[in-house]
Amino acid sequence: MHHFMRFLVITALLMLMACDTDSPEAQGGPVAMRRLTEQQYHNAIADTFDSQILVAGRFEPDSRRLGLNAVGASLVSVTPSGFEQYEAMALYIVGQVTSPQHRQRLLRCQPQDAARADDDCSRLMLGQWGRSLFRRPLTQAELQSRARIASETATASSDFYVGLGLALSSLLVSPDFLFRIEILEAAATAEQAEPLQLSSLSLATRLSYFLWNRGPDEALIAAAQNGELTSKEGLKREIDRMLASAYLAGGVRAFFEDVFTFDQFTELSKDVARYPLFSSDIGELAREQTLRYVVDHFVFQEKDYPSLFTSRQLPMTAQLGPLYGLPVRSGQNWETLTLPASYPRAGLLSQVSFSMLFAHPGRSSPTLRGVFMREALLCQTIPEAPADVDFTLFADDQQAKYKTARERLTQHATDGSCIKCHQFTDPIGLGLEVFDGIGKFRNTENGAPIDTSGDLDGRSFANPIELGQAFARSPLVGACLVENLYRYAVGREEVNTERRLLRYLEVQFEQSGYHLTELLREIASSEGFRTATRGDGQLASPSGVIATNSVGKAPTVSMPATTRRRESL
Amino acid sequence: MNLKRKIHRRGFLCGSLQGVAISVGLPFLDLFLNSNGDALAATGAPLPRRFGTWFFGCGMNPQRWNPVTEGRDWELTPELVPVADIRDKMNVLSGFSVKMAGESNQVHRTGVFGTLCGGAPKTAESIEGPSLDVLISDHVGMRTRFRSLEMAAMGDPRHSNSLRDVSSVNPAEPSPLSLYSRVFGLGFSDPNAAEFSPDPRLLLRQSALSIVAVDRKRLERILGHNDRQRLDQYFTSVRQLEQQIALQLEEPEPLAACRIPDSPAQIPIDSEVDHVVANHALMAETLALALACDQTRVFNMTFSNRASGLRMPGSADTHHTLTHEEARDKTLGYQPRATAFVLRTMQAWTSFVKTLDAVPEGSGSLLDNCLVMAHSETSEANTHSVMGLPFMTAGSAGGKIRTGLHVSGVGDSTSRVGLTMQQAMGLNIGSWGTDQNQTSRPITEILV
């Protein structure tokens, strides 16, 4: 589209929005089929049985697309080794559930004779477990086939529990459990064809994974079955209930864990000679600290998004004390400290989790830190370095004379093709250079003082605290959170018909004072969230990459248009 | 070794679970009975042929790695000195390139997926699968417990280039112990055991899987094109497990070369090169016996990842960052610290090949019945070059491959290497690859 035309359209849309505060019409994009994540699998087992039933096994790695595993989940399948693991996990779970130790507690019925089949009892339990695992009631045929095999096996083995366990294991390895498969409501008449609604049960599942990162509870399934989610009031009632639930913390945590790419902590390793304070336990605690911080900030304290970058509240544990140079009372428990004004850290970005994750094993990396901040927090894409750059141009044999990362990176910036990207990443990354490769504070590198001054798209800063303030004031962070959260909710990139909705959500988020709960509510009740198109053809590109749209987003970004995040996959 | 073994199959059928086998899952009972005849009939079968890849990141220095002389008795070069001991058991294939048909060179991706998939990937997130090893496992991997085994010596399950399509990248075993447990743990049945008594629970597991298959038709009707493909992949994986269970119900053929290894030692798992070398050696030993016990016929070993993260203890740099940031030594003419990793890699390759060669099989060694292709994603990593990529093969694929040679590809597509691997492994294909990387010319110098 011609730029001027695009400008006119956008202006018209903005004007429309100005006189209409209702959520706009927005046909949602294609339905998704998402593989459960490891955490979601754990949650499903805890919800279906209870927390005493353990999950043991290895999960296939998730796949990140558009910066989110939640989007990659719509693209991955199950490999032979992945399925082997699912089956082994199922057998382990079944073994526990049907063991004398647990079955009294977990079964709502007891067989008349444990050495014989009991169709009523196996139907009751398979129906209950199936409803929880499949996130919908089993069909007659599904229940029938499982009940039959449970009875036949119980008779043949003279053990009711062997039969029940066999049928249960078939539920645990089914695609209906391992994937969240969304379906559309059958349109009653041709006039009702547009926009197509998600089926009530699919909507319930989408809601519960979005807000809780777990399957719908009994009340939500019941509301879906009673048709309550098809009315505005009924839907609002359920969303309000879910936002007030204790499960919201798990949902918020899962979203930020995904945006922050914290799954990478599993494989994080550091050079122990250079970083004796590091261990994989410290890595896990650093990750936990940031997630606690985020959940506490948004869910328990109901604070706004910008102050996430500036807050002086910090959950601490004794083991992290040495890394922060802070005295912490001994003990295993977390306590929230209020950092003094003189302390050189405040807000999200100065936490050690980011410093250690976005660094090399043996040193910090202003570039990796800058790429993370640009891509995950501002939704801008930094292209890969061009393939044909001869890096030895910069590998000055006097390298030793450059003491600091800033001096070394300045050498890169002498080349035109490098500076195009490094000018976006390095200045903000260098703002965190006083944190070494595991986040420990330092004033000097190789004896030379570290300069952390720079600017974020015109907002200058002198140190990490001011960098956080610059992020808090950036107009891009709010819009980026909206974009990430919407994609996380629907498991794919937004389509053309949802772009207006995204603009609207940005405005609403701003008007709410950047309160996350309000944004969650707006997304959950939007038309884009509860409507969808068929999967056919929409995802038909041969590479399996989600189809994208040729129309770009509103030119509100200071980055060159081509670097807009993954705009053209 | 042809022991007269007590067969407990009938006892198993009658006794275990009081006949549950008969009432549950009739198709599987058929399979079970069918296997009886097959298993007994198949004595004196030829030794299996195996295929594997061995990947290393960040390539080499072409002027120091590529042999100058061709054919037999090629002259060792500075970076190939470590392979001297195994020169007669391997080949060097130099000069083969991934051809770019207008695509951009995606750093650290184009070289490897261009090689394995027969064409350069078109976008930053797409890959046109399947990879070479999957094509070969479709052909030779169906009668073993595992269709293929993937291993990552640096401990990251993501370090795998084996894939059917972009939605299903086969994750790697991230530790010697996980590899050992998967192969020799639960479900392993010793082919040389005096008695064979399959676990009666195998039949229950088959029944549970058979119910899942019933849901397929319903799901296929409601899914879009790509999701249907993902569902197909899921059911391929279900079938693979069914196959695995069916094989466990069969009495395995005695295999003279097979013995059960001890559980591997535990060494720290990270990117420090000494740890990687040690973990790689442990994985190689377990793998060699997994092959000797015919648990799989296809494998993929990732020694170091794409954009190699190998590092020396106490160093701020990784192999990858050194290839970009280290100055070329003025007198030597190359990057000495980065190049040290190339030498460590060639040593590791040599030890890998020796490990396979140390297992006696038939009248020779396990290696004789293997074909291993070593490859990387770049030649010169400093410029991310995908021209003249380094390839080595080891083993003679049961007499299908000549060894001891250096062949220069003079700029031909890497698909010639892939085509040669497939033909040596018995695939009936005449050409392979896409666009400029399509070829119908195998490397006849090494094909018998």
pLDDT tens profile A161-197: 999 999 999 999 999 999 999 999 876 555 555 688 9
Locate A313 and state its tokens. 């509240």
Q: What would the pLDDT profile of B256-273 be if each residue is shown by its tens digit?
A: 999 999 999 999 999 999
What the block records as the tokens of A419 is 């500076």
Q: How far is the C-alpha of A498 from the C-alpha of A367, rounded, in Å?
A: 33
Q: How far apart are CA B293 and CA A494, in angstroms?
A: 51
Which residue stretches of B250-335 are H helix? 273-292, 319-325
Is B18 in contact with A80 (Cβ distance < 8 A)?
A: no
ipTM of the modeled complex: 0.87
Angle B277-B281-B285 from CA coordinates, rounded to 5°: 170
The pTM of the whole model exceeds 0.95? no
Tokens representing residue A442 in the block: 């330092």
State the nearest Cα–Cα gap between B122 and chain A, in angstroms: 9
Q: In chain B, what residues touch A58 (CB-CB under 8 Å)?
A: 157, 178
Q: What is the count of residue pairs from A and B with beta carbons less than 8 Å apart?
A: 245
What is the structure's pLDDT at B17?
Answer: 41
In A221-260, the residues whose Cβ lies within 8 Å of chain B are none
Report the distance separating Cα B100 and Cα B111, nearest Å.
10
Shortest CA distance from A412: residue in chain B? B325
Q: From A383, which residue of chain B is nearest by alpha-carbon distance?
A: B124
Q: How far is B54 from chain A (nearest CA, A)?
A: 19
The answer to whether A390 contacts B169, with C-beta atoms less than 8 Å apart, is no
Rounded Cα–Cα distance for residues A30 and A19 (Å): 29
Q: Count CB neighbours of B412 within 10 A.
A: 18
- Residue A488 has which token pair? 């996380």
Domain that holds residue B273: 51-193+258-437
**Residue of chain A minimizing CA distance to B333:** A392
* Domains: count for chain B: 1
What's the start-to-end Cα distance of chain A, in Å? 19
Contact (Cβ atoms closer than 8 angstroms) between residue A232 and residue A61: no
Q: If DSSP codes are grouped into helix, strand and coil, which group holds residue A142? A: helix
CB of A76 within 8 Å of a chain B CB? The answer is yes
Instruction: Quote the tokens at residue B177.
Output: 């112990």
A157 and B17 in contact by Cβ < 8 A? yes
CB-CB neighbors (< 8 A) of B272 in chain A: 269, 271
Assess whether the previous peptide bond of A306 is cis (omega < 30° from 0). no
User: Closest to B223 (Cβ–Cβ): which among A391, A535, A542?
Assistant: A535
Residues of chain B contacting A90 with CB distance shorter than 8 Å: 208
Residues recorded for chain A? 569
The shortest C-alpha distance from B19 to chain A (Å) reads 6
Is B357 within 8 Å of B257 (Cβ atoms)?
A: no
Q: What residues of chain A, 121 to 150, have a C-beta less than 8 Å from chain B?
A: 142, 145-146, 149
The SS3 of residue B279 is helix
A95 lies within 8 A of chain B by CB: no
* Tokens found for residue B197: 């008594």
Q: How far apart are the first and last CA of chain B?
A: 31
Q: CB-CB: which of B168, B215, B230 is closest to A174?
A: B215
Would the CB atoms of A84 and B224 count as touching at under 8 Å?
Answer: no
Radius of gyration of chain A (CA): 26
Which of A176, A399, A542 is closest, CB to CB, to B327? A399
For chain A, domain boundaries: 35-181, 255-473
pLDDT of residue A511: 96
Return the SS3 of B439: strand
| Burial of A421 per CB tally in 10 Å (0-12, 13-18, 19+) | buried
Between the alpha carbon of residue B278 and those of residues A146, B337, B367, the distances in Å are 48, 20, 21
Residues of chain A positioned with their CB less than 8 A from the CB of B328? 392, 395
- Is the residue at B236 inside a domain? no
Determine the residue of chain B that is closest to A32 in CA distance. Answer: B227
**Tokens of residue B379, six digits:** 């030649």
Rounded CA separation A16/A254 (Å): 35
DSSP B138-149: HHHSTTSSBS-E
**Cα B42 to Cα B27: distance, rounded to the nearest angstrom:** 22
Which one, of A378, A554, A565, A555, lies nearest residue A477 by Cα? A378
3-state secondary structure (DSSP) of residue A30: strand
- Domain assignment present for B204: no
* pLDDT tens digits, B317-329: 999 999 988 888 8
Q: CB of A231 within 8 A of CB of A525?
A: no
Query: What values do phi and psi take at A485, rounded to 5?
Result: -70, -35
Interface of A with B in 364-393 (CB under 8 A): 384-385, 387-392
Buried b (16+ CB within 10 A) or exposed e, A32-55: bbbbbbbbbbbbbbebbbeeebee
User: Cβ of B11: how many Cβ atoms within 10 Å?
Assistant: 11
Alpha-carbon span A66 to A332, nearest angstrom: 37
Closest CA to A394 of B70, B393, B173, B327: B327
Of A82, A267, A535, the CB nearest to B226: A535
Measured between alpha carbons, how far is A339 from A341 in angstroms, rounded to an integer? 7
CA pair distance B70, A60, nearest whole angstrom:
44
Q: Cβ of A271 and B272 within 8 Å?
A: yes
Predicted pLDDT at B44: 54
Average pLDDT along chain B, 448 residues, taken 10 residues at a time: 39 37 33 30 68 98 97 97 98 96 84 94 85 95 91 96 93 97 92 88 92 87 91 94 91 91 94 97 98 97 97 93 89 95 98 97 95 97 92 97 97 97 96 95 96
Which residues of B are less than 8 Å from A403 in CB distance?
A: none
**A266: CB partners within 8 A, 6+ apart:** none
A262–chain B nearest CA distance, Å: 15
pLDDT, residue A399, reads 58
CATH number, domain at B387?
3.40.720.10
Chain B residues with CB inside 8 Å of A183's CB? 222
Amino acid at residue number A68: L
Shortest Cα distance, chain B CAs vs residue A241, angstroms: 31
Among B105, B167, B179, B332, which would you mutate to test the A interface (most chain A Cβ atoms within 10 Å of its Cβ)? B167
Nearest partner of B147 among B232, B213, B243, judged by Cα: B243
The 8-class DSSP code of residue B100 comes to P
Q: Which residues contact A143 (CB under 8 A, 6 or more apart)?
A: A123, A126, A127, A130
What tokens appear for B114 in the block? Answer: 């261009």
The stretches in chain A having pLDDT less than 50 are 1, 5, 7-20, 396-397, 537-569
Query: Chain B partners of A385 at a C-beta cutoff of 8 Å?
Result: 107
Q: Which residues, in sequence order, are bridge partners of residue B394? A: B90, B372
Residue B424 in any domain: the answer is yes
Tell me whether the omega of the peptide bond preceding residue A315 falls within 30 degrees of 0, making it cis: no
Q: Which residues of A touch B236 (CB under 8 A)?
A: 80
Give how far Cα A361 sits from Cα of A20, A187, B146, B255, Å: 52, 56, 35, 45
Amino acid at B26: L
Asked if B126 and A29 touch (Cβ cutoff 8 Å), the reply is: no
CB-count burial class (<10 Å; 0-12, 13-18, 19+) for A438: buried
Q: Is B5 a member of any domain?
A: no
Chain B residue with Cα closest to A167: B208
DSSP string, A316-365: E-GGGHHHHT----SSSS-EEEE--TTSS--SGGGSHHHHHHSB-SSSB-
Identify the pLDDT of residue B30: 30
